[in-house]
Amino acid sequence: MATAARVAGVGTVVVVLAAGAYATADAYDVVPGVVTLAPPVADPLPFPTAPGAIAPTAVPRVLGDLDPQAPLPAAPQVQALVDALVVDARLGPSVGVSVVDQLTGEVLASHQPDAGRVPASTAKVLTGVAALTALDPATTLPTRVVRVDAGTVALVGGGDMMLAPGAGDPTATVGHAGLGDLATSTAAALAQQGVTSVRLVVDDSLFSGPTQSPGWDPSYVRDGFAAPVTALAVDIAKLREGEYVPRSPDPSLAAGDVFAQRLAEAGVTVEGRARRGTAPSDGVELARVESAPLVDVVHYFLETSDNTITEVVSRLVALDAGLPASFDGGTQAVLHQVSTLGVDTAGARLVDASGLAAGSSLSPALLADVVRLTTDPQHAALRDVAVGMPVAGLSGTLSGRYTKSDARGLVRAKTGSLPNVTSLAGTALDAQRRQLVFVVMADQTPDGGQWAPRQAVDAFASALAACGCR
């Protein structure tokens, strides 16, 4: 019995010790249990609630606001720069100049500012301003495929003359939309209907009138200064790579031929050659691709001075105004839209929207007013015109100019060049950080090309940028 009692006692001690050890382990959360020395768990946070509507913060400006405290240059000194320019033999006998303070609109200096002169490509500034005020800058141009009948489809142009021949590039302006992508989508839609063979028509009826301005020299298309203006084209109708290369005489049908090739590669046989036709207004759309936004297209033609794309954009302005999408309708619409912004267009004449044709006439004062609008805070959309213009020594048609000038990066302007015509319209930031609008138009420059008159104009703009003029 004693032995049994001792065994029972030892067992009890073991049980008690084991229980104590487990309780200790439980307290330190080593083993599962209800005992713990850890601090109590905090109450959960309340379920989050959506914040109330708040006023949006200001969108950062592409161009900074002008400092009204920056000193205004002394008008007599600026006038002295103008007076020296207009007698420079490199510009010839017909020169118009206007220099205006960007912030106040005060005319600081001028020479025959109200006399009309040939603007050349400075006219493109008006087309850009008209487009971005009349139209939504986010507008894109569709190129569509529409069923005509059981065996026919139509390639319908929406104004995109920058189509890629194959796949589109969503990061590009030229080639943003591609005929290869359009063909792939079209083939898929036709396959669902069991169609493997079609006839193809090209509908470019969106634009009307002549495809080339009567004011254009016949050599312009051959030499690549412009293409016939139609409602669709591949790579602005270029027949080979390069800037000034021959263009197709019929960009729409040429695009149709490329599209037929892409359809064939996608498994759809095209019977015969593409021909011009019209899609039914209620035709079923099989596929479409969209161009780059309008604002990017405007940037492109301002920076590169592309004549063809400028004419395309003017036709879009005409369509918005209910006018024919032609040379006459485009120029009428552009001038009217600019006049709605408070610019006096009396006496202004545009033969085309790009400035390539002979016979256009704009005054330096009008151009200065339009340029000044582009950085006016009351017309925020027009800042895209201002930033789309070439920067001296850095971009576009000014990339090779001002490269050794202190004005590099301080002058932003649209160039204009025709035989015996040199013009420049834009802004210069002077040494006191005052922004000046300037326009120089010389339309009787001596024979010998652009080098000498450009040197004179660029020296003048550089002097404006360097001017403390106090």
Asked if residue 169 has pLDDT above 50, the reply is yes
Question: Which DSSP category does 328 fall into?
Answer: H
How many angstroms separate the CA atoms of 356 and 460, rounded?
25
How many angstroms separate the CA atoms of 425 and 64, rounded?
20
How many angstroms separate the CA atoms of 112 and 117, rounded?
10
Average pLDDT over residues 196-213: 96
Per-residue model confidence (pLDDT) at position 74:
86
Per-residue model confidence (pLDDT) at position 209:
95
Average pLDDT over residues 446-466: 95
Give the 3-state secondary structure of residue 40.
coil
Nearest-5° Cα angle at 281, 275 to 286: 70
Q: Of the residues 110, 124, 238, 405, which is catalytic?
A: 124
Q: Which of 238, 204, 234 is closest to 222 using CA atoms? A: 238
Asked if residue 31 has pLDDT above 90, the reply is no
Asked if residue 254 has pLDDT above 80, the reply is yes
Among residues of the chain, what percentage have pLDDT more than 90? 79
- What pLDDT band is residue 61 in, cutting at 50, 70 and 90? very low
Per-residue model confidence (pLDDT) at position 47:
52
Per-residue model confidence (pLDDT) at position 29:
52
Annotated active-site residue 124? The verdict is yes
Per-residue model confidence (pLDDT) at position 271:
93
Q: Copy the structure tokens of residue 31.
A: 């083993």
- Range name among 61-70, 188-197, 364-373, 407-416 with the lowest pLDDT average: 61-70
Asked if residue 33 has pLDDT above 70, the reply is no
* 173 contacts 184 by C-beta, under 8 angstroms: no
How many angstroms separate the CA atoms of 145 and 139, rounded?
19
Q: Which of 327, 313, 351 is closest to 120 using CA atoms? A: 351
Is 160 or 11 the better-scoring residue by pLDDT? 160
Asked if residue 289 has pLDDT above 60, the reply is yes
CA 400 from centre of chain? 21
In sequence order, which ranges of 248-293 are alpha helices (DSSP H)? 251-265
Annotated active-site residue 305? The verdict is yes
* 254 contacts 274 by C-beta, under 8 angstroms: no
Backbone region of residue 272 per phi and psi (left: phi > 0; alpha: psi in -120 to 50; beta: other values): left
How many angstroms separate the CA atoms of 172 and 164, rounded?
10
Query: Would you kindly state where each structural domain of the chain is located, as residue ranges?
Result: 75-136+297-466, 142-292
* 274 contacts 201 by C-beta, under 8 angstroms: yes
Average pLDDT over residues 171-188: 97
* 327 contacts 311 by C-beta, under 8 angstroms: yes
Q: Copy the structure tokens of residue 384.
A: 């895209």
How many angstroms separate the CA atoms of 48 and 240, rounded?
61
Q: Of the residues 121, 291, 363, 417, which is catalytic?
A: 121
Asked if residue 82 has pLDDT above 70, the reply is yes
Average pLDDT over residues 401-412: 94
CA 242 from centre of chain? 21
- What pLDDT band is residue 460 in, cutting at 50, 70 and 90? very high
How many angstroms separate the CA atoms of 440 and 267, rounded?
57
Per-residue model confidence (pLDDT) at position 393:
95
Average pLDDT over residues 298-313: 97
Q: Of the residues 98, 213, 291, 305, which is catalytic?
A: 305
CATH topology of domain 75-136+297-466: Beta-lactamase (3.40.710)
The per-residue pLDDT of the chain, averaged, comes to 88
Is 447 or 22 the better-scoring residue by pLDDT? 447
Among residues of the chain, what percentage have pLDDT more than 70? 85
Asked if residue 456 has pLDDT above 60, the reply is yes
Per-residue model confidence (pLDDT) at position 243:
86
- What pLDDT band is residue 67 in, cutting at 50, 70 and 90? low
- What pLDDT band is residue 285 in, cutting at 50, 70 and 90? very high
- What pLDDT band is residue 381 in, cutting at 50, 70 and 90? confident
Annotated active-site residue 404? The verdict is no
Residue entry with tokens 């599962």: 32
Per-residue model confidence (pLDDT) at position 42:
55
Specify the CATH number for 142-292; select among 3.40.50.2300, 3.50.80.20, 3.20.20.140, 3.90.870.10.
Answer: 3.50.80.20
* 247 contacts 239 by C-beta, under 8 angstroms: yes
Asked if residue 430 has pLDDT above 50, the reply is yes
Asked if residue 360 has pLDDT above 50, the reply is yes
Per-residue model confidence (pLDDT) at position 39:
54
- Range name among 228-237, 420-429, 461-470 with the lowest pLDDT average: 461-470
Q: Copy the structure tokens of residue 65.
A: 């606001």
Per-residue model confidence (pLDDT) at position 345:
96
Q: What are phi and psi of 190, to 5 degrees?
A: -70, -35
Asked if residue 226 has pLDDT above 70, the reply is yes
How many angstroms separate the CA atoms of 300 and 15, rounded?
89
Per-residue model confidence (pLDDT) at position 431:
87
